[in-house]
Structure 1
């Protein structure tokens, strides 16, 4: 197995996944969602002494406490809410979930944190620049380094929420389930199409689909964030073409605007839009309709979490989950399976009056039984970033993992000051689609925001 340079940062996640692959005869892992790693790619991840031990049982003494938990829409799954009910039955501690629409969440959270009125628990995206700049975790969050589950959670996920040696969040996420191009096999077969290996092949097959009367790709730009994935996920390819690019960007030795591969990627994305691959309503389309649109047969592909095929089948139409296959975004001729070891994470507010109860809830969620319950009862989850769990990888996913043996981290989980400006990048790319900006303008604007954030963070490289 070949692995890109990005995997050198302690990627035991890949090793764990590869071990799973040997057991199930294929790789496992489906964004937020994969697996990979570096030098020891063919060796199982070394387990800590407590790696296979369950988390400590919560105290049996019941308490009359309610923990407020604010999170962005889509981050809290039904399975976790069911676990919260079980937790309340055992402890008397109630979880009051306060879900905020995704496009409003970060503004709402920042307002609360700045006013020193944070909830007991708050959700936030992981990533070093994200947790330091957006959440100022050293001031606003509780140090969780001493919690038992930190000995079992994948080290690469922990790295994304560690500042100055202290762990500030619990990340329970299907880090192996990357957003990939999900395609309708029936449409591909009827038109004699095969999985593309280059952008030109991808463009050619999309044109053929368009000529057949089917819209090639369902792309929900209205959500504000989704279309950025097309540019950010192939980041390992940019680093492959220009070795050391990721590290040079973090060291401020290079800028986004300097990189010809990223410029080409944005130009190709603009071409996809101009050719009509996203359809006529892409600016008003939303992610919530993805499964319905794929089930209708009006669209041949969608960039989606791999579990979307289950949602398509659940609609009850002619298409089944097995009627879909996957491939990576081929922009810039990418053939690397990109992964994101981070994801929505759980922080305890430093000003909470119930810090110990919140820690108790985290310990409960991180128990092996609770983690397995999430996998077994959430159709969007195929595995989680803890060892010793039984995954739900499908044959199509295993085929996907085997198809792309080279793996690397997406750009937002490695390069500093990218993830915090995600929604702004979404606006920039939308402006590019509309003709108000050029690809070079998008990259220059990203560089400017990175410099501004680096100065706020007093980054010595800037």
Structure 2
């Protein structure tokens, strides 16, 4: 991936202060925000639909303003939609009725596939601007040989946030195998520090030792995702896939957890990690913002590493990818040409620089020529290193539409000693079967 020094980003201190300030934005569903000043009366005006999260809107507005000011042929106006299920339904309805904005931002991976892209979206295959998109992103927004989107935002990782000061104090090295991780945890426990922070007060966090382990599963069984989707591979019987459940049980059985794991929430876990009262916190790298909000003075003490598996030679990151920007089939003629012009702008280093000014990157931009600011947190640098080394693979959700809704509750039970890893994996296989049948997948 090529690199470039961008414009001077906002300092982490300013960003931390902003993260502490509550933002209130009232926007109607798919309402126009009227972005950018001025405009040529002969310009082609196109609408760009994004969700109404304040950070999403501010980034979209900044990109539209910069693009509109860079030329006089096209004017982009930002529109907003609700977040969550309401927003998902709105996107699908507008695509199906031909009333979608001229372009829109949405998820990549399995949620993108649920839009029926071949029917509802315009393929971008062959466009020159796709040459600037990293090859790792294309499969996340493709159907067959056709590519339908360009990335918006940065990639991120699922793995372990760790306290670098604790590691320095105890003379530890970042582990590349689970055995090394366990050995580190034994030393940390002996020093009176909680080795592995768990925060089951927010049940979604219980999933990281399973979901973040998928790089190791794929390394051991490259066909797992395909076989899993076809109903032929199961967590309870695949020797690689069950290890995430076993590791969750082991962390509990060996007494590695923080004492308040059952009730602690993410901010509690971050405070424990930042204070050096806990050494490891399995989590997504996107929680850089949480660190900056609750313990900004400790941001340099926190690093990140991928969940280790059995083989150090295949050590690597389970990666989550940015969402995409897409053009619906209802956009035609001059508006289609204008939309593609804006997509081309989004794949430039200037667009990446603007995104970095609006929010802290939590991983690499998947656009050639883009560079991370020099003062990004260590977590971001650590995630980026896996991408630069080619030591990453997509999370399962980018390879399969199946994810049972009960996984987090099952793993809370496994991680609390209520249910064994084997029983938890078998129960999850049952949960997955229900969802696969609802999706009408073959083989179930």
Q: TM-score, normalised by structure 2?
A: 0.70
In structure 2, C-alpha distance between the alignment counterparts of 1:391 and 1:106, rounded to whole Å:
32
Alpha-carbon distance in 2 for matches of 1:449, 1:260: 23
- State the secondary structure of the residue aligned to 2:440: helix
Residue 383 of structure 1 corresponds to which residue in structure 2?
Answer: 364
C-alpha displacement at 1:266, in angstroms? 0.4
Distance 1:168 1:283 in 2: 42
Which residue of structure 1 lines up, in the alignment, with residue 426 of structure 2? 441
Q: Secondary structure at the match of 1:86?
A: helix
Structure 2 runs not aligned, ≥5 long: 4-38
Structure 1 counterpart of 2:393, from 406, 409, 422: 409
| Match among 282, 294, 297 for residue 303 of structure 1 | 282
Residue 367 of structure 1: aligned partner: 348
After superposition, where does 1:157-306 map in structure 2 within 5 Å? 157-175=137-155, 177-206=156-185, 208-210=187-189, 212=191, 214-221=193-200, 225-242=204-221, 244-249=223-228, 253-273=232-252, 275=255, 277=257, 279-281=259-261, 285-286=265-266, 292-306=271-285
- Which residue of the partner structure matches residue 10 of structure 1? none
CA offset at residue 336 of structure 1? 1.4
SS state at 2:152 partner: coil
Aligned counterpart for 1:340 among listed residues 319, 329, 352: 319
Matched with 2:80 is 97
Aligned to 1:26: none
Structure 1, residues 399-430: CA drift from partner, whole Å, max 9, x if none?
99489968341441564234xx2655334433
Q: Secondary structure of 1:183's match?
A: strand
3-state SS of the aligned residue for 1:178? strand
Distance in 2 (CA, whole Å) between partners of 1:263 and 1:302 is 21
Separation of aligned partners in 1, 2:345 and 2:132: 14
Residue 151 of structure 1 is matched in structure 2 by: 131
Check the 8 A contact 1:228/1:429 in 2, yes or no: yes
Q: Which secondary structure state, in structure 1, belongs to the residue aligned with residue 118 of structure 2?
A: helix
Q: 1:413 to 1:223 in 2, by over 3 A?
A: same
Q: Is the contact made by 2:107 and 2:324 (CA closer than 8 Å) also made in structure 1?
A: yes
Structure 2 CA distance for partners of 1:93 and 1:400, relative to 1, 3 Å = closer
Report what 1:142 is aligned to.
122
Q: Is the 8 A contact 1:225 1:423 kept in 2?
A: no
Q: Distance in 1 between matches of 2:116 and 2:317?
A: 28
User: How far apart in 2 are the matches of 1:404 and 1:384?
Assistant: 11
Q: Which has the higher mean CA deviation after the structures are superposed, 392-401 or 445-454? A: 392-401
RMSD: 4.4
Residue pair 2:226, 2:400 contacting (<8 A) in 1 also: no
Q: CA deviation at 1:277?
A: 1.6
**Following superposition of structure 1 onto structure 2, how do residues 65-84 of structure 1 map, counting pairs within 5 Å?**
66-70=47-51, 76=56, 78-84=58-64
Q: How many residues align?
A: 395
SS in 2 for 1:426: helix
**How far off is 1:386 after superposition?**
1.5
Q: Distance in 2 between matches of 1:208 and 1:70?
A: 45
- Per-residue deviation, residues 375-398 of structure 1 (Å, max 9, x unmatched): 465422553112122344779646
Q: Displacement, 1:299?
A: 3.3
Asked if structure 2 preserves the Cα contact closer than 8 Å seen for 1:337 and 1:405, the reply is no
Structure 1 residue ranges without an equivalent (≥5): 1-15, 21-57
d(CA) in 2 for partners of 1:259 and 1:189? 37
- CA drift at 1:213: 5.0
- Residue equivalent to 2:22: none
Kept after mapping to 2: 8 A contact 1:417/1:453:
no
TM-score when scaled to structure 1?
0.67
SS in 1 for 2:298: coil
